[in-house]
Amino acid sequence: MSPDIAYFAATLAKIVAIFLLSVHVVPIMVILERRISAWVQFRIGPNRVGPLGLFQPLADLVKFLGKEDFVPAQANKVLFWAAPALTCLPPFLVMTLIPFAPPFEVMGRELPAVIVDSSIGIILALALSSLTVYGIAIGGWSSNSKYSLLGGLRSSAQMISYELALGLSVLAVICVSGTLNLSDMITRQTAFFGFDDATGNWAGWNIFSQPVAFLVFLVASYAETNRLPFDLPEAESELVGGYHTEYSATKFSLFFMGEYIGMLGMACLIVILFLGGWHLPGVAALDLSPNVFALVGLLVFMAKVGFFLLLFIQVRWTLPRFRYDQLMQVGWKVLLPIALANILVTGFVVAWS
């Protein structure tokens, strides 16, 4: 096998691996969420299918596939079918931009552990995740149900409001790291806490240099993925199911797939922007071979992402829901001004350094 073909095959394998990784996070999150929520509420939770109930998601999939595919008579058929796909696609696309590990080495060449190592990675990630809003708004509108319409509307207004806070908090991080490329952002956080000796720039994790941006981004990412305490769009007690009230079978599950992949993408972005990506203090000093180093980096990255995914679940089962007026006020009157002030303060410090 010629080196070129081997490298090409490795690239394809990488793409399939990242796809499978993204897909498999969904059932893992579902079973974790159900077990943890049961634990929080002193229930037992699903424990029948397989050891510890671990195969429950598989049983769920079979159930989803066997369910009747219901379409309301008054619904707009084309849009009703398109909405779940439109909700699911953008979060998946964001995953192509995430560098999961340091570059691997294949046939003496570097194989970056990211599908698209874009020079504008962070803006593109925000732009693509902003497209999720269409699936939700259209899903709510096309169902021709009052609950769905209200849920879809609330959700889209909420998502665009918090998207601003998200984008503006990222701006301050960009001021510090001076790049839009996600891989470069990680390599500029090599040290755990400290400055680069050569340039005098900050080289530690951005959570220490940008604590305000970190908090704003964290809060906004919960709203952006429609998770509690910001899950107004699907506030069960007021709106039945929200925008997916009329959906059944796998179309219903696609909305959830989009939500969970969206959470995965947000967790990855938090780790890349604020927690040094695959860096762990001490690992670089071990002087590992490139592939072992990449593998360790992958594990470190996944561990950090896993922490934030668990935090998503923990927050959901701990905090009560906001009221809608409070929700919009938090977005526009608290997070937005804080993010703007944070940009100016950061810009001031960086411009004079």
Partner 1 sequence: MSPTLAVQTSPFVDYVGIAPYLLLVVGMIVVLMVLPLLLAKTTRHRVKDEAYECGLPPQGTAKQRFSVHFYMVAVLFILFDIEAVFLFPWATSVQELGPIGFSGAVVFVAVLGLGLAYAWRKRVLDWN
Partner 2 sequence: MDALIDPTLLTRIAFYFFSALSIVAALFVVVHRNPIVSAVALVMTFLGVAGLYLTLGATFLTAVQILVYAGAIMVLFLFVIMLLNLEKDPFEEPHVPRLLGAGLAIALLFGLVAVLGGTVAVGTSIRSGSAEEIGKIFFGEYIFPFEMASLLLLVAMIGVIVVARRSDGKEAL
**Site residues, partner 2 (CB under 8 A):** 4-5, 7-8, 11, 76, 78-79, 82, 86, 118-120, 123-124, 126-128, 130-131, 133-134, 137-138, 141-142, 153, 156, 160, 163, 180
45 contacts 34 by C-beta, under 8 angstroms: yes
DSSP codes, 237-285: HHHTTGGGTT--HHHHHHHHHHHHHHHHHHHHHHHHHHS-TT--TTTGG
Residues 10-49 that bind partner 1 (CB under 8 A): 11-12, 15-16, 18-19, 23
186 binds, among partner 2, partner 1, none (CB under 5 to 8 A by kind): none
Tokens of 208: 């220490």
**Residue number, 175 or 186, with CB nearest to partner 1:** 175
Minimum CB separation from partner 2 for residue 75, in Å? 12
Minimum CB separation from partner 1 for residue 173, in Å? 9
Residues 97-156 that bind partner 1 (CB under 8 A): 115-119, 123, 143-149, 153
Binding segment toward partner 1, per CB under 8 A, in 34-42, 71-79, 206-214, 295-303? 71-79
Q: How many CB atoms lie within 10 A of CB 348?
A: 11
Minimum CB separation from partner 2 for residue 65, in Å? 27
By CB under 8 A, residue 251 contacts partner 1: yes
Q: Count residues binding partner 1 (CB under 8 A).
A: 80
**Residue number, 112 or 306, with CB nearest to partner 2:** 112
Binding segment toward partner 1, per CB under 8 A, in 35-43, 214-222, 227-235, 244-252? 244-252
136 binds, among partner 2, partner 1, none (CB under 5 to 8 A by kind): none
Residues 6 or more apart whose CB falls under 8 angstroms from that of 262 comprise 91, 94, 129, 132, 224, 225
265 contacts 129 by C-beta, under 8 angstroms: yes
Q: Of 274, 312, 269, which is closest to residue 100 (Cα–Cα)?
A: 269
Distance CA 166, CA 173 (A): 11
By CB under 8 A, residue 342 contacts partner 1: no
Residues 272-311 that bind partner 1 (CB under 8 A): none
Counted residue by residue, the chain has a size of 353
Q: Of 245, 241, 259, 249, which is closest to residue 62 (Cα–Cα)?
A: 249
137 binds, among partner 1, partner 2, none (CB under 5 to 8 A by kind): partner 2
Tokens of 135: 């699936």
